[in-house]
Amino acid sequence: MEYGKPEMMAAAIIRQIEDGDIVFHGLASSTPMVAMKAAKAMGKEFTYLTLSDGVDHDWTRAPYVASTLTENTYTGSVATFGLDEIFDLYCSGKGDIAFLSCLQMDKEGRIAMSYLGGDYERPKLRGPGGAGSATLPPVTKKTTIWKTTHDKKTFIEHVDFATTSPPLDKEMTVITPLCIFKKPVGEKYLKVAYIFPFTTLEEVKENTGWEIDQMEVPVMNPPTEEELTALKKVDPNNILHFEFK
């Protein structure tokens, strides 16, 4: 079966999730939404929390728009658990994964989500800011950032205003269309953990705004038939491709 960057990123997201995990994604998160539904379709046993209040909604309901606040993330839920309760759960150390995105990121994994350009009072672009982004990374076991562009404007040497910074005592994973960065527990800087099969370490270096001094990194396995089948099954309207247009 054929695949491209969206399917590879979705497979990487699916592989982040382990049985027993409590997993959250927020607003405007079509990529992790489709990947998490596919992970459910593959039989992974994890708890799906999202901003719609729904807990473990009926994953067979296909997304029809990229918004993650529609009925397809609520109908068939077994409970409701609001964002305030989700934040409490994660702050008390019980949350495993939060899938978050960013406007920009630097080599320490510091994330710009509040604004770009100008300053805080008069930004050129006001971002969605720091609800989940500021609250969750310091307290989440495996914070995972997905970003559907990988270039030098996005991955920069130093972020001026960090909406959040990853804590030293936790790992952070960053999934891009080219590779996976990881900040291991106890370390300060992101490292390339895997590159995807269709790219090279050179291409990653050319598109990253900080110097990567690694000489060799493993190549992640391409999406499996099972992963691709699950993605197709849960996403007949191809919402997975929305962020890549």
Partner 1 sequence: MIHALRAGAYGIPFMPVGGMWGSDLVGIRPEFYQIMKSPFDGAEVVCVKALAPDYAIVHVQEADIYGNCRILGPSYQDALMARAAKKTIVTAERIVGSYRMQEEPKLTAIPHFLVQAVVELPGGAKPGICYPEYQGVEWDKHKAYQKAVKADEVQKFADMMLEGRL
Q: Which of residues 90-109 bind partner 1 (CB under 8 A)?
A: 90-92
**Residue 179: strand pairing partners:** 195
Q: Least separation, in Å, of the C-beta of 50 and partner 1?
A: 10
Q: Among the candidate windows 36-44, 69-77, 216-224, 226-234, which touches partner 1 by CB under 8 A? A: 69-77
Q: Least separation, in Å, of the C-beta of 7 and partner 1?
A: 27
Q: Could you say whether residue 76 binds partner 1 (CB under 8 A)? A: no
CB 210 within 8 A of CB 157: yes
Q: Could you say whether residue 80 binds partner 1 (CB under 8 A)? A: yes
- Applying CB under 8 A, which of residues 15, 25, 107, 110 lies at the interface with partner 1? 110
Q: Could you say whether residue 127 binds partner 1 (CB under 8 A)? A: no
Q: Is the dihedral of CA 176, 60, 75, 39 positive or negative?
A: negative
- Applying CB under 8 A, which of residues 137, 173, 195, 243 lies at the interface with partner 1? 137
Nearest residue to 140 (alpha-carbon basis) of 21, 231, 7 = 21
CB 72 within 8 A of CB 40: no
- CA geometry: angle 136, 9, 194, nearest 5 deg: 90
Q: Among the candidate windows 33-41, 82-90, 198-206, 235-243, which touches partner 1 by CB under 8 A? A: 82-90
Q: Could you say whether residue 224 binds partner 1 (CB under 8 A)? A: no
Return d(Cα 83, Cα 244) in angstroms, integer.
27
Q: Which CB sits closer to partner 1, 196 or 242?
A: 242
Identify the burial level of 16 via C-beta atoms within 10 angstroms of its C-beta, where 0-12 means exposed, 13-18 middle and 19 or more buried: buried
Phi-psi region of 106 (alpha: psi -120 to 50; beta: other; left: phi over 0): beta
CB 138 within 8 A of CB 109: no
242 DSSP 8-state letter: G
- Applying CB under 8 A, which of residues 163, 173, 199, 207 lies at the interface with partner 1? 163
Q: Least separation, in Å, of the C-beta of 141 and partner 1?
A: 13
Return d(Cα 188, Cα 7) in angstroms, integer.
30
CB 64 within 8 A of CB 237: yes
Q: Among the candidate windows 131-139, 173-181, 209-217, 230-238, which touches partner 1 by CB under 8 A? A: 131-139
Q: Could you say whether residue 167 binds partner 1 (CB under 8 A)? A: yes
- Applying CB under 8 A, which of residues 131, 201, 217, 219 lies at the interface with partner 1? 131
Q: Could you say whether residue 222 binds partner 1 (CB under 8 A)? A: no
Quote the distance between the C-alpha of residue 245 and its chain's center: 18
- Applying CB under 8 A, which of residues 8, 34, 97, 162 lies at the interface with partner 1? 162
Residues in the chain: 245
Q: Which residues bind partner 1 (CB under 8 A)?
A: 51-54, 64-65, 67, 69-71, 74, 80, 82-84, 87-88, 90-92, 110, 114, 120, 130-131, 134-139, 161-167
